[in-house]
Amino acid sequence: MASITVVSPLAPAAFPDLPIIDGVAFSTAAAGVKYQGRTDVMLATLSAGTVVAGAFTRSSTRSASVLDCQAKLGGASDRTAAIVVNSGNSNAFTGKGGVVSVEAITTATAQACGAPSERVFTSSTGVIGEPLPHERITGVLDTLAKSASHEGIAEAAQAIMTTDTFPKGASASIEIDGKTVSIAGIAKGSGMIAPDMATMLVYIFTDALIGQDALQTLVSRSNAQTFNCITVDSDTSTSDSLIVAATGASGVDVEGQDAFADALHGVMLDLAHQVVRDGEGATKFVEVIVTGAATNADAKQHAMAIANSPLIKTAVAGEDPNWGRVVMAVGKSGAAADRDRLSIRFGDVEVAKDGWRSADYSEEAAATHMKGTDIVIGVDIGIGTGAATVWTCDLTHGYISINADYRS
């Protein structure tokens, strides 16, 4: 795998100070699954009563871990639970051996943590098609279980990284009926990023009290507007997993509380944006806003065509306001459009209006916007009220350097 030595220029200044979530403890280990000299296994233990919701890749070649987690969602929540994650090997396209590895890891974790195996959720990320040396993971589980700490979430974020250049974390705290409810989340993701969902692993923890069905509804709804609205390279992974765990330790019932729904959505959106900002080789963060489409679904289809266009992404990398490529992407998207009603802007600079270049268009002003690190491409289709926003990054030589050498 190509050596990652430079932190993304779009990275936040530092990893955030995340709140401790009562009922959750973390530990990490350097098991040598693939990487040497760094942690690559993370264990999160969850107190009895924790409810778990999630969203996963819909790839037809999804991994054994994903299939196992999907089967376990919605089960009884009265016992202790655990999440085990390894980086460096995705345990995908590994046949029956992949299933054996998942069973071995869940069984060993259950024994180490005193949890039933049906309450152990596993994730693997890394190279596809190579057998997972699961004995390296099971060999450190007893130590991980004994060393788990409520303050270990930052180290957990480090352990799950692959080609990431920085660990990703986000949080929120809200007041409901005079009591504080906290949310803390971590994620990994840098390449092979596209719905549904992306090559990313996301783990969000809260001390809110909420039923599994209600939590799943919130997670699914926000996932559609956050992680399923980002793309780095249009490639969908075999291993995407989003797991949200609510311990209930705050004693605050959040069902039907808009404040909690908004806070959870905010944490998910923050993490989704960080994944894009750490896109492999990225130097620009791009927001694509489409309005005036026939439907919201059409708006998203247009937006993703723009966000996934290599011609647009390389133009952004070269700081070239090549709006003709936006016209191309809208035309090829397959969603309804009218050439003579189309309007385009870069930031606040109107480029085209009603199917023609704007009379007062300034190439210099558009080029100035493209020199920034946060780029906005706005498109109004002009035929309806449908709208969507998606996020992407530019495409640079750095992406090639990382992925041409990924398995070595």
pTM: 0.93
The catalytic residue among 94, 163, 199, 247 is 199
Residue 312 domain-assigned? Answer: yes
Residue 234 has pLDDT above 70, yes or no: no
Phi-psi region of 355 (alpha: psi -120 to 50; beta: other; left: phi over 0): left
| Structural domain that includes position 315 | 285-403
Within a 10 A sphere around the Cβ of 356, how many other Cβ atoms?
12
* Number of structural domains the chain divides into: 2
pLDDT tens per residue across span 114-131: 999 999 999 998 888 999
pLDDT of 63 > 90? The answer is: no
Do residues 236 and 307 share a domain?
no
**Res 4 pLDDT > 70:** no
Assign 3-class secondary structure to 112-173.
HHCCCHHHEEEEEEEECCCCCCHHHHHCCHHHHHHHCECCCHHHHHHHCCCCCCCCEEEEEE
pLDDT digits (tens, 9 = 90+) for 189-206: 765 545 554 447 999 999
Q: Tell me the torsion sign for CA atoms 360, 363, 369, 375.
A: positive
Task: Confirm whether 8 is domain-assigned.
Answer: no
Token digits of residue 139: 């060999």
Residue 4: CA atoms inside 13 Å, Cβ hemisphere, count? 21
Same domain, 339 and 373: yes
Instruction: Look at residue 1 in the predicted model and tell me its pLDDT.
Output: 42
Query: 152, 148, 262: which is closest to 208 by C-alpha?
Result: 262
Q: What per-residue confidence (pLDDT) applies to 166?
A: 95
Of 23 and 195, which is predicted with more confidence?
23
pLDDT tens digits, one per residue of 91-106: 988 899 999 999 999 9
> Is 129 inside a domain boundary?
yes
Q: Would you say residue 107 lies in a domain?
A: yes
Domain shared by 155 and 299, yes or no: no
- My answer on whether 240 and 320 are in the same domain is no
- What is the mean predicted confidence (pLDDT) over 349-376? 96
Pair 223, 290 in one domain: no
Task: Indicate which CATH number applies to the domain containing 187.
Answer: 3.60.70.12
Residues 138 and 156 in one domain: yes
199 belongs to the catalytic site: yes
Predicted local distance difference test score (pLDDT) of residue 189:
78
Mean pLDDT of the chain: 92
Final residue belonging to a domain, choices 212, 244, 277: 277
Residue 198 confidence (pLDDT): 44
- Specify if 370 maps to a domain: yes
The answer to the question of residue 15 being in a domain is no
For 290-336, what is each residue's pLDDT tens digit? Answer: 999 999 999 999 999 999 999 999 999 999 999 999 999 999 999 99
Residues 156, 176 within the same domain: yes
- Which positions ≥6 away from 144 have C-beta within 8 Å? 27, 28, 29, 41, 43, 112
